[in-house]
Structure 1
Amino acid sequence: MPLITTVLTIALYALLILVFVRAALSWFSPHPTSEWQRLVFRATEPMLAPVRRWVPPVSGLDLSPLVVTMAIIFVIAAIRSIG
């Protein structure tokens, strides 16, 4: 795999981990109090906020992390098929 696709894939996996951490933090600690929690929220909110406007909560459950996760996995698969 060329270097650019490898770097892009690693960055997308890191982003995927951040989305998972964000989802877990919203279940256990909805209001970020520590600096690393605020960092995770600031890193993921630009992706989640637009999705949240289009996908309404289902029974109070925010589905935006699921939609963003599926999109990231789709992009990773596309990059792997190209590279």
Structure 2
Amino acid sequence: MIKNPFSGIILKEENKDNRGSAEFQVVSFTNRIRRLTSHLELHKKDYLSQRGLRKILGKRQRLLAYLSKKNRVRYKELIGRLDIRETKIR
């Protein structure tokens, strides 16, 4: 499995006391998504991992929607720091 060297750096920046915050959860989901994506590049027929990836993507999408409604500034900062696309709001 190919590991992303930047994924651990983002988690070390976060405060350990604030693991329940939406930002921390989005960061941890993003790290898991990147790990699973690199795993699936090597193992294309691992359907259980594909299902897990889709579930994590949905959770992250819901958290990002919540964060964008609650605090748009923190949402924009998090999107820029993680280098992910902005979600479409329904």
- The structure that is helix-richer by fraction is 1
TM-score range, shorter chain: 0.3 to 0.5
TM-score normalised by length of structure 2: 0.38
TM-score normalised by length of structure 1: 0.41
